[in-house]
Structure 1
Amino acid sequence: MLGRRKTSQEPVVETAPRAAAAVDGSQPQGKGRPTPRRSEVEAARRRPLVVTDRKAAAKASRERLRAERTKTRTAMETGDERYLPPRDKGPQKRYVRDLVDARRNVGEYLLFAALVLVVLTFVLPPTLGLYVTLGLWFFVLAVVVDSFLLNRYLTKRLAARFGDDVPPGTARYGVFRALQIRRSRLPRPMVAHGQKIG
Structure 2
Amino acid sequence: MTGYPEGVFRRRSASAATDSHSSESASHEATEATQPKGYTPKKGVPTPKRKESERDLRRPLNAPQSRKEAYRAYRGRLDRQRGRTARDGGAAKGEERYFRPQDHGAARAFARDFVDSRRSLSEFFLPLSVVIVLLMFVNNPTAQMVVAYVLWPLMMVTIVIEGVLVGRTVKRRAGQYFPDDPSVKGSGLYAAMRQIQFRRLRLPKPRVKVREDPTPRYVR
Give the TM-score range, shorter chain: 0.5 to 0.7
Aligned length: 146
In the superposition, relative to structure 1, how do residues 72 and 139 fare at CA in structure 2: closer, same or farther (>3 Å)? same
In the superposition, relative to structure 1, how do residues 156 and 61 fare at CA in structure 2: closer, same or farther (>3 Å)? same
Q: Which aligned segments of 4 or more residues in structure 1 are displaced greater than 6 angstroms?
A: 53-64
Among candidates 193, 196, 209, match of residue 179 of structure 1 = 196
What's the secondary structure of 2:136's corresponding residue? Answer: helix
Partner of 1:137: 153
- CA displacement at 1:55 relative to structure 2: 9.2
Among candidates 165, 172, 180, match of residue 181 of structure 2 = 165
CA distance in 2, matches of 1:194, 1:172: 22
| 1:109 is aligned to 2:139 | no
Larger Rg: 1
- CA displacement at 1:107 relative to structure 2: 1.6
Among candidates 106, 115, 129, match of residue 100 of structure 1 = 115
What's the secondary structure of 1:122's corresponding residue? Answer: coil
- CA displacement at 1:196 relative to structure 2: 1.3
Partner of 1:189: 206
- CA displacement at 1:68 relative to structure 2: 4.4
State the Cα deviation string for residues 135-183 of structure 1 (Å, max 9, x = none): 1111110111110101111012101211242422122111111111112
Q: TM-score of the superposition, structure 2-length normalised?
A: 0.57
In the superposition, relative to structure 1, how do residues 196 and 124 fare at CA in structure 2: closer, same or farther (>3 Å)? farther
Gapped runs of 5+ residues in structure 2?
1-67, 216-220
* 8 Å Cα contact 2:117/2:210 also seen in 1: yes
* 8 Å Cα contact 2:171/2:188 also seen in 1: yes
Gapped runs of 5+ residues in structure 1?
1-52
Among candidates 80, 98, 103, match of residue 95 of structure 2 = 80
CA distance in 2, matches of 1:63, 1:120: 41
Alignment RMSD (CA, Å): 2.7
Q: TM-score of the superposition, structure 1-length normalised?
A: 0.62
Identity among equivalent pairs (%) = 31
